[in-house]
Amino acid sequence: MFKVNKKLKMSTMIKKLKMSTMIKNIKELMMKKITLMILSLLSLSAFGVNAIETKGKTVLVNVPGMVCQMCVQGMKKNFSSVVADSETDVIVDLDKKTVKVTFNTDVTEELIKEKVNDAGYNAETLTWLEAKK
């Protein structure tokens, strides 16, 4: 009888230990997932990722300092991978210092700024334009 009780107590203890270990593991896993989610959200907001679809949409970028034909060439070349036709979908206005781009794919605002940098300039502001109906 004493032996049976002892066995019972042992098995109960083992079960309790396993349960607590399992709970501990689950808690750790949950914490890791929550932490990853928070970090992802933070990094997305830090890089200014625009969560909306951009395919078919047009952005107007202010780019100070553009003064010559080569500036135009640089913008068209660097945006060529995200537009259907760089001649018609990348419009540079040297008087207003703006670049108007109509995308044929989804892009982030960070990518837009990067492409302006690749052309040798800095994007001051980005304004999404309403699509013409």
Partner 1 sequence: MKNIIRFITLSFFLTSFSLIAHPVIYKGGWVYQGSFMPMMNKMRVGYSMNSRFALVANSNWFQQLGDYRDYSLGVNTLLKRWLSQDAQGNLYAGVHAGQYRDNASEGSVINPFFMADWESRDHYTVFQSKGYLYDNKSVYDYTLRYGFAPFRAGMKDLQTWFILQAYYFEEQSREVLVTPMIRFFYRNVLWEAGYSTKGQSYLTLMIHY
Q: Is the separation of the CB atoms in 127 and 57 below 8 Å?
A: no
Least Å distance, CB 39 to partner 1, is 29
If the CB atoms of residues 56 and 64 are measured against partner 1, the closer one turns out to be: 64
CA separation for the pair 54, 25 (Å, rounded): 41
If the CB atoms of residues 54 and 78 are measured against partner 1, the closer one turns out to be: 78
Least Å distance, CB 119 to partner 1, is 5
Interface positions with partner 1 (CB under 8 A): 64-65, 67-70, 72-75, 77-78, 92, 94-95, 97, 117-122
State the burial class of residue 127 (Cβ atoms within 10 Å of its Cβ: 0-12, 13-18, 19+): exposed
Least Å distance, CB 31 to partner 1, is 41
If the CB atoms of residues 4 and 68 are measured against partner 1, the closer one turns out to be: 68
Q: Is the separation of the CB atoms in 119 and 71 below 8 Å?
A: yes
**DSSP state letter for 97:** T
